[in-house]
Structure 1
Amino acid sequence: MDNKLIQRYISGHVSEDEKKQILNWLEADEQNMRHYMALRKLFNFELWRREEKKETTFSRKLTLEILKIAAVFILSFYIGGIFSGTSGKESVTMQSVYVPMGQHVELMLADGSKVWLNAGSRFFFPTSFSDDVRQVKLEGEGFFEVQTDKERPFIVCTPEYKIKALGTSFNVFAYEDTELFEASLLEGKIEVCDNNRMQRIALSPNQKVSLENGRLKTLPIMHSDYFLWREGIISFDNEPVLAVMQKLELYFDVKMNIINEQVKANHYHYTGKFRMRDGLEHILKVLQMKKRFTYQVDEDTNTIEIK
């Protein structure tokens, strides 16, 4: 694949045909994804360097860049209160981003770290980080490319867990009011612990930790499709259909009423991937062809009944 085409894709300057060409190339081989991630890192660093050069005040202010990914639109964000660092001695102004359903967004933080946020996510971050820690809060799904800083660990706080990194690339799935939780590592090293510090797990590249029956369990990541949601593709690898339905609820902002006993009992599993732009009904019809269930849509209550 031509590197110039990849760079134009990263910056959002490609045609629909070129976009499909890139996505097909990414899906074809894991090495393609690694090459793409390496180029994206270079592009992000150069963008950050240029922005710092342009405005001298960036040493004390947030550097926030909304970049184009597929059909993403600029989202609203607002000042959201006070956030205390781990030392408890210092408070800084927080900003918050909410990503509407069916969209995703990409940000750059004050230290040059990059964050991709999936649909329905809320993300809270300081306008500048403290001298001893870089701490943010996530309710939803996010992919992080963390700038290396051995003196200041990067900590992602979720409703139930914390993920600690120094310089690495990882994904976190932690929507509020759901039992689903996953942290997945692409590069580097992270440590995952619950808020009560009862469990602490260190991950190596191509490993993930998932919540199963109230305990964290470490599993291998079998292929890089897992991280393709940033390109508008959601991927499932032998996941219980019940978990698939729960994720679809969050991604498309609908209520799934699961009546089918086989689905509720996790008797069905699914492996495959979908493009978000194809819509929820297309995804359900594909699942329906492979698994035995029917569904009924109630538009008045925004509910889908799985029978």
Structure 2
Amino acid sequence: MEDRLLFKFLKNEASAKEVREVLDWLDESPANREYLNALDEADFALQIWQTKLRRERLEPAAPKRAPMSLRLRGAVRWASAVAAVLVMGLASGYLLTEYNLSRAPEVTFVSTNGQSTLHLMDGTRVWLTPGSSVSYPTRFGRKHRTVSLKGEAMFEVAPDAQCPFLVKTFACTARVLGTRFDIVADEENNEFSAALLNGRLQVTHNETRGSVVMNPLEIVRLDNGLLVKDKLEDVDNYLWTEGIINLRGLKFEEIVRKLEANFHVRFVVERDRMPSVNFGWGKVAVSSGIEHALEVLRYGSDFEYDYDRNAGVVTIR
């Protein structure tokens, strides 16, 4: 890599193609990154400037003392050059910092033992349902804070108007304009939804780029590739962050999935059809245990069950 091109990169004068060339070169080896980091922009710039001056002028054998006006003009030119070099140094330092931040390692947190809570480095708080995961860089950049979600999570985002918070999923990307919201991103079942409890949220479809801005107590669902916004009817669905499962309006198979995830059990249904269930009410605290949850469930349904504690299997009859 020629120093001339590196100098253009440090001065932020490189074209888009040249910037890509430098970034690819930086990715080739740690030695290349060390070389650029070790490059003294100020000295390098002064050397180029002095070389240019030597080529463009002839030094007299016995230089005479320049008049005061010329010396002042020369001093002004020198000060301007030094100031320009300092500005270039600051700009290149910013570019290098942005480059390093953009290459920050990414980590993935998986909620394996029940509901989990995660605190990100910017102060954002994330609640994850069992089996869900969130990936994020070890250091956020200056332009945005981006995380990736699989499963369901509740976010309470630390405000920063200059650095928006983005949540990427398999289907859509949510741009946070407020604070507290819930996202379901179940790629296996092609299910996506975003529920806003307070603040504002912008949801954009990854493929169609269709976008919806949400206000508090609204929910957006993905329906046949379209984002459909509706009123949020039941905020109790989001009490899971407090260890409470809301049963209202759920089908039996939906309740089973929630019980399996929260109590680490497996359901086996030994009947021709799923039990009918119609809960217009009902909540279950995870701390009360699976057997209590099953007894609550029996109040609104028509089934019997056996629970094998050793195997962790619930058989529905």
Letter in 2 for 1:135: T
Deviates more, 1:223-232 or 1:270-279: 223-232
Gaps of 5+ in 2: 1-98
1:226 to 229, 237, 260: 237
2:216 equivalent among 194, 205, 211: 205
User: What's the CA shift for 1:118?
Assistant: 2.7
Answer with 1 or 2: which has the greater Rg.
2
The percentage of counterpart residues that share the same residue type is 32
Aligned-pair RMSD on alpha carbons?
Answer: 3.2
Which residue does the alignment assign to 1:244? Answer: 255
For 1:194-221, what per-residue CA distance to the aligned partner results, in whole angstroms no more than 9, with x for missing partners? 4323654332111123456776543323
Aligned 8 A contact 1:147 1:166 in 2 = no
Matched, 1:104 2:116: yes
Q: Contact 1:262/1:268 (CA < 8 Å) preserved in 2?
A: no
* Of 260, 265, 285, the match for 1:275: 285
Residue 238 of structure 1 aligns to a residue whose secondary structure is coil
Residues 131 and 261, structure 2, Cα contact 8 Å, conserved in 1: yes
**Conservation of the 8 A alpha-carbon contact between 1:101 and 1:252:** no
SS in 2 for 1:110: coil
Deviation at 1:280, TM superposition (A): 2.3
How many pairs were matched up?
217
Structure number with the higher helix fraction is 2
**CA distance in 2 between partners of 1:211 and 1:295 (Å):** 35
Matches within 5 A, 1:1-307: 90-107=102-119, 109-175=120-186, 177-197=188-208, 200-211=211-222, 216-258=227-269, 263=274, 268-270=277-279, 271-297=281-307, 302-307=312-317
Change (3 A) 1:121 1:300: same
2:263–2:286 Cα contact (<8 Å) kept: no
Residues 138 and 251 (structure 1), Cα distance of their counterparts in 2 relative to 1, 3 Å cut: farther
SS of residue paired to 2:230: strand
1:141 CA drift (Å): 2.4
Name the counterpart of 1:28: none
Are the counterparts in 1 of residues 177 and 202 from structure 2 also a CA contact under 8 Å? Answer: no
Q: Distance in 1 between matches of 2:159 and 2:121?
A: 13
Distance verdict in 2 for CA 1:269–1:182, change over 3 Å: farther
Name the SS of the counterpart of 1:239 in structure 2: coil
- Matched letter for residue 143 of structure 2: D
TM-superposed CA distance for 1:106, in Å, is: 3.7
How big is each residue's C-alpha offset from its partner over 1:209-248, in whole Å with a ceiling of 9 and x where there is no partner?
3456776543323344233222221223322232222222
Contact 2:277 2:300 in 1 (8 A): no
Shift of 1:301: 6.5
What is the identity, as a one-letter code, of the residue corresponding to 1:144? F
Structure 1 counterpart of 2:253, which letter? L
Q: 1:242 to 1:192 in 2, by over 3 A?
A: farther
Q: Supply the distance in 2 between the matched residues of 1:290 and 1:195 (Cα, whole angstroms).
A: 40
Distance 1:305 1:176 in 2: 28
Q: What per-residue deviation string (whole Å, max 9, x for no partner) do you get for residues 111-148 of structure 1? A: 22222223322221112112222110122322111123
- Distance in 2 (CA, whole Å) between partners of 1:236 and 1:253 is 18
Q: Encode CA deviations 1:167-193: one digit per residue, 9 max, x unaligned.
A: 321012335534544321011111234
**Structure 1 gap ranges (5+):** 1-86
SS at match of 1:237: coil
Distance in 2 (CA, whole Å) between partners of 1:104 and 1:255 is: 20
TM normalised by structure 2 equals 0.58
